[in-house]
Structure formats: structure tokens, C-alpha cells
Structure 1
Amino acid sequence: MTLPQGYKHNQAPNSVCRLLKSLYGLKQANRQWFTKLTSYLLTQGFCQSYADTSLLTFAKDSIFLAIVIYVDDLLITGNNESLISTLKDNLHKTFSIKDLGNTNYYLGIEFLRTKEGITMSQRKYALELLNTAGILDQKPSNVPIDPNIKLSADEGEFLDDASLYRTLVGKLIYLTITRPDLSYAAQALSQFSQNPRTSHLTALYKVLRYIKFSPGQGLHFPHHNTLTLSAFCDSDWANCPTSRRSITGYCIFLGSCLISWQSKKQKVVSRSSTEAEYRALADCTCELTWLKSLLHDFQVPCQQPIPIYCDNASAIALASNPIQHARTKHIEIDCHFVRDKMKAGQISTIFIPSSQQVADVLTKGLSKTPHHKCISKFGICDPYTMPTCGGIMV
């Protein structure tokens, strides 16, 4: 640190500053604050989660509290309001916190409460994104990405200024927190951020026009819901025309609520569609294992086995048949991982027709009807156009 301008000490010309607290901008500030806060909460009887270190829980008899930490923002919930008030008072005495009441707006996410449940939306953020792109006056689109177009790194002219493309793609990725229907488009466009071309910018503008179709769209979580896990996994074999790598897509539900999803290019080239599906199955199994541990911290019991719906019969056969060694030795780690979970009774693979595969929208671009059919099963709705938001957009 440099001394403030104009400061001068005649008797101590080589004065330095002594820090009495962490300052924003220092690399160690966030770590020191997190260490101090968690150390205090641990002395108050909280336990730090192994699945997610930013989660701390308190359980005693029938009382349960949970705190989620994001830098210097805390989300506190529980089933005992008086204990929550006491906790807030103690935190205020120690750290001088500010109580903002019920969660309505957090990290760009809007929480809207109705008698049917809670809806998470990023409408304000989405409108700011459209305004940054300058397309508020353009015609909206029914789908985010054209299913007949395969983006390539060689088509089109290089952009004179790639900063706008990178800014829009970065904002688009953050919008996928509440918009799983944008996940495939976001991962497809983000891989060209280093050297974007005009064809990529055109595809990006189509995604933004799709957002304009319903900017307030988000995830709906009903009050009454079962607490059983289920998952859908899928892959699109050799989707990338450049690297010929496949796309993994999975979505995981707690009852009817979508709580986790992914659309990601696989790290290696799969030699067959079965291998691509099996890698997607392994990634989904890994995520389910983590979610099971996280739900345990929330004292939510998980049924076993957890069903995983897959539309590839060969991948299901490989997962349950240990005899197929010659066909799976090059994917042996994933193979053993899935089989061990099946032997332990933690997961079970179930065949589902491709027409009913919910994760299909996470692996490829779809036309209007199948696209909206898939996302209707995600529990997606727009609370600004559907006041009850108990229904689902079709």
C-alpha cells in the first residue's frame, strides 16, 4: 500500500500503513474473511459441509438451520424463526451485518413467491443483456439455435472487435443459472470466444432474440413436491465438426424440480455412440453422487437406487454386464465407476425412448416443437406472463 497523498510525518518519514482489517481488492481478503466467518460459525455449533464448503448447517433435535456463504453475502434458512433471529443478532454484534429480510433479489436472480411456490428468474439481467446487444427492437425467435446449422471455426470473416462477442457470451453463460434451455447454445458459442467470426455472431444474435421471446422465463419450484431424485442423460455423438467430440447432456430432478443440469463437450473423442452415451452416464452418476452427499447435509433422505433414464440400450447393457471387457477396456475407469455404483445399489439405469428424452435439448439444437416439449418438463415458466406460474410453458 502507498500512503495517502499529502500525508507527511516529520519524525517518521518512512512510515508504513498497518492494516486493521481486510480491504477489498487484496488477493487474500476473501480467504481471510471466509476463514474468520466460518471459524465463528463453527464455534456456534454449525458443521461445514464436505460436499460444498460454503454451506454450514446446524442440527439439534428437531431444529435445523442452514447458511450459504457467497463472499460477504449470506443466505440463512431454517425451521426455527426465533433461533434465526438470535443468530442474526449474534452475527451483527460480531461482524456488523445488515439484514435485508426475505430473499427477493440475489446476485442478479429474482425470487418471486406465490401461493403455488417460488420462481427463480433473471428478467432484469436478461433485459440488460438485450440492451447491451442492441436488439430490443428486433423480432424474437422461437428457438435459441438453428438445428440445421453446425458452427465451425473456419466459416465467416473474423470480427474487427471481438470484445462485444466475448461480453455477450459471458453474460449468456451467467443467464444459464435459471435458463437450462440456453445451456447448449452457451457452450457451443463460448468455444469460439478466442477468434469469433461473423457466423458465430449471427448465431449469438439468434440466441438473444430467443431470450427476447420470454425474458422473464425461469425455474419454478412448487411448495408441494416429492423429495426423490431422478436423472436423464443423453449425448450427441461427434457433434463438433472440427474436433469430432461428442456433447454430454444430463438433467437431475428432485421430485418435479430441476436442480442440476449440464451441457458440455466431452474431453476425448468417442469411438462410437455407445461410448459417448456411456461417458454421459458416468458424468451423470458422478453428479448424482455429489448431490446425494449435499442432500444428506440438508437432512433430505435419498432413495436407492436412483433411476437414470437413458435412450441407448447398448450403454445400459455395458453398465450392467461385466463380461464386455474387450469392448470397454479403453473406457475402463468410467466403466468400473458406473458398475460399482450399480453393484452398491445406488443407481439403476432405465431405458427410455428418444422421443421422451428430456436431456435431448442439452445436446443439440432442436426445432420448435421438440424444443418446447423438452423444456416444458423442466418446470420452466414466466411469472410475468403467467401470474399463477403453477403451469408450465408449452
Structure 2
Amino acid sequence: MTVQKQFDLENYLTTGVENIVKGAIKATLKDPKESAFMVSFAAASKKGASRRRQWADKGEHIPPFLIASITSACNLHCSGCYARSNESCVDGLPDCQLTAEQWLAIFLEARELGINFILLAGGEPFLRRDIIEAAAKVPEILFPIFTNGTMMDEAYLQLFQQCRNLVPIFSIEGDENLTDQRRGEGTYATLLTAMEQMKRRGLLFGTSVTVTTENKDVVTSPDFLSQLSRFDCKAVIYVEYVPVTEESRELAFGDEEREWFQSKLSAVREEKPEMVFISFPGDEKSSGGCLAAGRGFFHINSHGGAEPCPFSPYSDINVKETSLKEALHSRLFTFLHEQELLTADHQGGCVLFEKREQVEKLLAQ
């Protein structure tokens, strides 16, 4: 009988962060300014890990990642958009969203807790230049900015050149046909122009790919990845598609596709050592369960609500009235941990999407 080795979540996350930083340093040796920043950030990352260990000694688990949806507004209407389907993404800028000053306070608290990565999302985060400029004031934190790439301009390019802790992550669906089919005609060409501008200035950037049963072969193909490599793309983040409706479940991975994808990803990492490949959420069944609700990360929406994950938009606490540390002890987060929903057996992919009726029942009490 084989005894399964206990999963060490903290070691898994800390090692993952360190490997990402080491890979970025190696990939940017030709750019002294970029390399100098990554070396500096590596030191800040170790300091952050030390702070998290100090909190752990006091019985407090602090995740190394935070996802911040800094706006609900977006300039595109992508087919199958999860944010639009749950009305967390809209046209125009609502008045009740957090200000740049409030977000800066959140970023500074995150730094003191030992959080090293804050992923800026939306909506389209480029619509909130004031918040991105606030993030630039916290160089100890790396801010990947998940953007559709259509709003890149000279002012943003200059900001990224001056503040290397801001790293655009361009959303792309594969080739021109797949990208324009989902995001609108001409989006692919605009993305390539943005990537070329980043390359010309020697700026670090990555890409985000929503992986479905329809595009999985294209987005892991040598042609697609070689094209990204030619633009000097340093990171590819694969995000498994979460169904918007029951009818769209056929686009989401099953166990067979997920096993194929993880095998393909291992091969890609060997073939493209100059790039960093991250899979989210990956196979939760074999990686110790879902990392949401503070196990590995949590989400702050544009109104300040603390949520387990962007794909589980439920909240019972708001950081406008409380601290990040207190939000990690919310009734919802505590329930998810105590009921072991995050490590519960499920079909794979997003466990909280699958268990959403239990989450909604709790919030209705």
C-alpha cells in the first residue's frame, strides 16, 4: 500500500514564487535595469516570506497572493465572459468603487503582511490609470496587470519603463481567428502591436490564455508559443475556462482533458525554458485542493468586498470597514475552511463553482 505524501501548501507556494522570480531574472539578463529590479524583488520576496512565517508562528496564515479587481468597467464584450455573466463587469465607471487612495492603503497593508504578488484585474484595469499609478508606489510588490491590451498608449509605456513592478499580462485566445472570435474583430492585431511596443522597449510582459476544449491544441502548439517567444513574452498564464452556464460546460475541461493538459504543460516547460508557464487552477485534486479563500490567495472586488476567488463572487465582509487580515477571518472564509469545501472531492476545475449552492445557502442564513 502506497502512503500519499502530505501536501505542504506553504512550501508549494513559496517555492513557486521563488521559481517564477528566478526564471524572470534568467530571462532578463540582457536588460540590466530589468535584471536589477528582479534581483531587488527577489530580496523583497524573501522578506515577505519571512513576514508570513512570523504571522504563521502567531497562528495567522497569510497567503502570498492577492487578486484585486480594481474596476468593473470594460471596453470589450467578450463572448462567454464570466464577469459579464455575473454582472461584476459593466459599461462605464460606477461611482461606488474604491478610490485610488483606498487601493493604495490596501497595497501598503498587503506589503506589511508579507504579500508579494497582487494581480490587478477588472473589468479592464487600464481604465483606472490612477490605481495603477498607486501600485507603482509599492515596488516591493509585483503587480501583474491582466489587460485586453487595447488601451496601450505612450503614457502607459513610459509608466512601465519607469516602474518595473508593473507587468502587463495580455489576454489572448490563440491565433487571430480564435482571439477575434471571442474578443472582437481587430483585437488580435492590436495585441501584437502592444507586444511589439513592449519588446522594442525591453519591457517585461506576459500573456493570459483562457483554455477551453476548443483552443487547447492551438494555445499549446509550437507555432503559438514560438510566436510569443519571438515577442520576448516571459510568462504564459493558462486559466481553465469556468462555465458561465450549464450549456457552456462542454468548453470546460473534464478529467481526461485536464490530464492531457498537465502532461502537455510539463513538456512545454522543458521545450521553452526561457519562459515561465503557470496553470490556474491546475488539477486541484492532486495539488491539495483549491487555493482560494486565503489558502493561497483571495480576491478583493472593485467595491471592496473580500471574495474567495473571482470565479466565486460571494462576500460577507468589505475592506472599506475592516482590514485585510480581518477579512481573512470572515464568516464565509471560515465556513469554507471548517467545512473543508476547498478540499472536497469534485469533478475537477473550480470546486467553488461546483459547490456554489452550498456557498449561496450559507450567505442566505
Identify, as 1 or 2, the structure richer in helix.
2
TM range (shorter): under 0.3
In the superposition, the TM-score normalised over structure 2's length comes to 0.25
Higher relative strand content = 1
TM-score, length-normalised on structure 1? Answer: 0.23
Structure showing greater Rg? 1
